[in-house]
Amino acid sequence: MNQNLVFADYAVFIIYFIVVSVYGYTVYRKREKNEHDAKAYFLAEGTLTWWAIGASLIASNISAEQFIGMSGEGFFLGIAVAAYEWVAAITLIIIAIWFIPVYLKNKIYTMPQFLKTRYNESTALIMAVFWLFLYVFVNLTSILYLGAVAINGLAGGEYLHTIMIGLAVFALVISLGGMKVVAYTDVIQVAVLIIGGLVTTYIALTTVGQYFGVGQDAIAGFKVLMDKAPEHFKMIIPRPTVTSSQLEINKYLTFPGMLSYLAGIWIINLNYWGCNQYITQRALGADLQTARTGILFAGFLKLLMPVIVMLPGIAAFVLYENGHLPQLVGGKDGAYSAVLTFLPTGLKGLSVAALTAAIVASLAGKVNSISTIYTLDIHKKYIQKEASDRSQVNIGRYAVFAAMLLAVMFTWNDVLGIGGVGGFTYIQKYTGFISPGVFAMFILGMFWKRTTGTAAIVGVISGFVLSVLFNEFAPALFGNETLLYTAWPNGNGGYEIPFHICMGLSFMFTMMLMIAVSFAGPKINPKAFELDSEMFKIKPQTTVMIVITLLIIFALYAKFW
């Protein structure tokens, strides 16, 4: 078993690199006549097809933290982690029907612009600065670090900084071409990601079949997984009892059974898919039907993602528990890389290409969003108010370069300590603290006309403070057992409330505070959006896509409940 890459693997990877580069350059040449059109650069306004929007959404979403982190959670939790993907498919239906019409009717191009239009300029500026810091110092750095570490391990373990620079430059070149180049190259990235991911899953299942004497048969290998690890094929993690082991408690802390579905997982998904510049930007330049179809297409692809990023983790668990995976290092986060060692020459290169595609697409999408927010919501409003389209595009490109340079600098020697806590945990921790407040601010701003700008500020601050309170201090201050929560021993001498429950409690109290503050204002805020039933009507073909998605999800939950 050769754990490192050989010439054939590098050849496959180089072919992937050339195809993406040539296609990206071709797309760029086609938009050269609009090279200095700001809306064309930042939003690819009116030029993205539904399939490009859907593919770009997935390419931006799936990155190293999914391949490494979610495979690791598959190793640890099992199929329960698929809820993130399958609930996301339902979330995308909600976004397509109710969120996108509000954005498009009000000509919203950035999330800070939404806040300025609906609330006030102060709220918009505060959140614009906050999002820039979050995207650069949390998302970009963790994606770059996790990706470089994963690929470096497969390449022999001696090229971390070279790989880091290579990923950054590759993403930089793509993103400098603007949103259209990012989105259309994402189509190839998603194709490589899915094909490479499915190949890895297939090899993992056939390897399981081979080791357990049922032949090189993927379906037989899957049945072995279900037989050897039945607890890994339950969607609902049971609530611990007095006889539960620390391992069982830790699983519940990560994903607290039905309570996840009553609170946290919806807030995570609705905030991520509906209130996030990095994601929504793909659809904001399209017409309503194109945007809706693209978002629902992304929902279909989300149904497939657990097969790619979760099943290899479960396969690694079964192999490891039975002594067939000695190459596993680094605990659960090493599961995906360990499985890749089973791939034959050439296919290993394809899997590295898939991992690279996920990383580069996410990096390019993220820096494009950073440049859009900085240019349109900060530079043009406060620094160079009369900036021409040409100047805006150039400023956007400078912002792309500056953001990537900062990410490389802070990732170079892991200044932020991402490796210590794990990239997936690092992202969840820092984005999770602000999700309740941001989502409350957006949902009330869209659909309750009385919500005031003061309430929005209160919501953002209280959402963060409450998240920190419930996550870090509540058990010590209020006890381990209250009417609102139960805190469980975390194995490190302390007690924790499950993260999803913390988010639900933070969101609930933030909503209550925002509503109370808004009652002190006028019955209808003058800045409230005008909504009408026509905005939310859907066409028959859209209804068909929604019904098919829901039926598939129902069947999956009926099977694995």
Three-state SS for 415-448 is CCCHHHHCHHHHHHHHHHCCHHHHHHHHHHHHHC
Does 405 reside within a domain? yes
Q: What is the CATH number of the domain that holds 344?
A: 1.20.1730.10
pLDDT of residue 1: 45
Which residue type sits at 347? L
Which residue type sits at 290? T
Are 323 and 155 within 8 A, CB to CB?
Answer: no
Does 351 reside within a domain? yes
Does 1 reside within a domain? no
Taking the CA atoms of 420, 426, 429 and 433 in sequence, report the sign of the dihedral they define. Answer: positive
Judge if 273 and 359 occupy the same domain.
yes
pLDDT of residue 33: 57
Distance CA 515, CA 517 (A): 6
pLDDT of residue 19: 86
Domain of residue 310, residue span = 7-432+531-560
Judge if 76 and 99 occupy the same domain.
yes
Judge if 328 and 415 occupy the same domain.
yes
The count of structural domains within the chain is 2
Three-state SS for 505-524 is HHHHHHHHHHHHHHCCCCCC
Does 249 reside within a domain? yes
Judge if 455 and 385 occupy the same domain.
no
Judge if 214 and 267 occupy the same domain.
yes
Judge if 110 and 240 occupy the same domain.
yes
Judge if 140 and 200 occupy the same domain.
yes
Judge if 389 and 298 occupy the same domain.
yes
Does 85 reside within a domain? yes
Does 544 reside within a domain? yes
Judge if 502 and 547 occupy the same domain.
no
pLDDT of residue 362: 85
Judge if 333 and 322 occupy the same domain.
yes
pLDDT of residue 424: 61
Residues of the chain with pLDDT under 50: 1-2
Judge if 188 and 77 occupy the same domain.
yes
Does 315 reside within a domain? yes
Judge if 450 and 394 occupy the same domain.
no
Does 2 reside within a domain? no
Element (H, E) at 14: helix 7-30
pLDDT of residue 423: 59
Q: What is the largest CA-CA distance in the chain?
A: 72
